[in-house]
Amino acid sequence: MYFPPAFFDIMVHLIVHLVREIKLCGPVFLRWCYPFERYMGTLKDKVRNPAQPEGSIIQGIVGEEISNFVAEYFASVDPVGLPTSRHEGRLEGKGTIGSKLITPSVEKRKQAHLFVLHHVPDVHPYLSEHMEELRVSNPGKGVRALTQMHNKTFIDWFHKRVLNDLDESVPETVKWLAFGPREAVRSYEGYDINGYTFWTERQDLKSRSQQNSGVSLVASSTQYASSKDKSPVHAESNYYGRIQEIWELDYCTFNICLLCCTWVDNNRRCVRNDDPCGFTLVDLSRLRETEEPFVIASQVKQVFFVTDPADHKWSIVVPGKRSILGIGDVDNEEEYDAFEDLPPLPILKFVWKMM
């Protein structure tokens, strides 16, 4: 009534009856021939000999099925003649050498526990709540004084706060963190985690042929110009250090590995960049006095310190390489089979001048 007959070509006419056809006949994939036509086109692509099309199709299908079977079979069997990765099953962390139980001092254990609490995402709301309470009860205190008070009192406050609110809304991780770690701490001289092999500096001295105690960490810190500075500056910096102890804190249902390190003083006199060559050099004899020697093992990267032949006072920082290629539970092996941020040595570009 509203459109001329010329408007109704085959495609428009098909749409008009499509809804009614689905209601009467059901889904189209049960009665249309398009899937079969597409599959016939796939079979025609396998024809390599026009004189024997049926034989070519059979040969192509058999070859495809064999390829799929072989791929699935090789993925489920152990290779013959190829060494297995020593990091297999150790991505989440596993102690290797020097395992022993120690009982550290209460102060040092609290120091390690406080660092864990600051780096667990589920605890962050409690950190903000505690800081806000301190800010309200101490209006005349500055940021630095409040931070010191927060570090001294947060563990006990967090323990009471969670015990008074033990309901289903509190995650299990937060509950066990509130109770704190066991007094006995598992200590190691070597630890494999995240594709890295970490050793303590003592173990490096025993080996004398390997160096696995160097670590680097990119962290944000609050810097003060003096003790009276009321306008701190927040900045990210690279920190370099050596592992002194490897602890595994036991929270009953889970363990967290911490590295106790000595850190190089992070200033221009101790860390500098060699502009002509692109090296990062550190002075390992100048150590940083800090109340936070611990880091979580999964958050650091491994580095190696090579003595600068031009000046033995300085050491060149060489980034490490993860060694977990070929492990089945790694989604993207290429991501781990490469140096993280920098190549082991910078690529120098020379400019030749015509004389």
Query: What does the alpha-carbon distance between residue 34 and residue 89 come to, in Å, rounded to a whole number?
Result: 48
Query: What does the alpha-carbon distance between residue 93 and residue 299 come to, in Å, rounded to a whole number?
Result: 12
Q: In whole angstroms, what separates CA 16 from the centre of its chain?
A: 56
Mark whether 71 and 105 lie in a shared domain.
no
What does the chain come to in residues? 355
Q: Strand 185-188 vs strand 233-250: parallel, antiparallel, or unpaired?
A: antiparallel
Query: What does the alpha-carbon distance between residue 113 and residue 155 come to, in Å, rounded to a whole number?
Result: 8
Look up residue 313 and give its two tokens.
């006072």
Residue 183 lies in a domain: yes
Query: What does the alpha-carbon distance between residue 99 and residue 255 come to, in Å, rounded to a whole number?
Result: 15
Report whether pLDDT(65) > 60: yes
Residue 352 lies in a domain: no
Look up residue 49 and give its two tokens.
């000999």
The confidence score (pLDDT) of residue 112 equals 92
Residue 175 lies in a domain: yes
Mark whether 165 and 33 lie in a shared domain.
no
Mark whether 70 and 102 lie in a shared domain.
no
Q: How large is the average pLDDT for residues 190-200? A: 88
Look up residue 32 and give its two tokens.
């249309």
Mark whether 185 and 319 lie in a shared domain.
yes
The confidence score (pLDDT) of residue 25 equals 84
59 phi/psi in degrees, rounded to 5 = -65, -40
Q: Where are the alpha helices (DSSP H) in 53-98?
A: 53-76
pLDDT tens, position by position, 115-167: 999 988 899 999 999 999 999 998 888 888 888 899 999 999 999 988 887 66
% pLDDT > 90, the chain: 30
Report whether pLDDT(350) > 90: no
Residue 203 lies in a domain: yes
Mark whether 69 and 125 lie in a shared domain.
no
pLDDT tens, position by position, 312-344: 888 888 887 665 544 444 555 455 544 444 444
pLDDT tens, position by position, 229-278: 566 666 677 888 999 999 999 998 889 999 999 988 877 778 887 766 77
Mark whether 60 and 102 lie in a shared domain.
no
* Higher-scoring residue by pLDDT: 39, 90: 39
Mark whether 138 and 235 lie in a shared domain.
yes
Q: What is the mean pLDDT of the chain?
A: 80
pTM: 0.65
Residue 85 lies in a domain: no
The confidence score (pLDDT) of residue 230 equals 60
The confidence score (pLDDT) of residue 325 equals 45
Query: What does the alpha-carbon distance between residue 309 and residue 52 come to, in Å, rounded to a whole number?
Result: 72
Q: In whole angstroms, what separates CA 170 from the centre of its chain?
A: 26
The domain in which residue 33 lies consists of 5-75
Question: Which amino acid appears at position 173 of this protein?
Answer: T
Mark whether 55 and 163 lie in a shared domain.
no
pLDDT tens, position by position, 23-48: 888 887 777 787 888 889 999 999 98
The confidence score (pLDDT) of residue 82 equals 67
Give 127: exposed, middle or buried? Use CB within 10 Å, 0-12, 13-18, 19+.
Answer: middle
Residue 193 lies in a domain: yes
The confidence score (pLDDT) of residue 221 equals 65
Any idea what DSSP says for residue 84? P
Residue 353 lies in a domain: no
Neighbours of 114 (CB within 10 A): 19
Q: Which residues pair with 242 in a beta bridge?
A: 214, 262
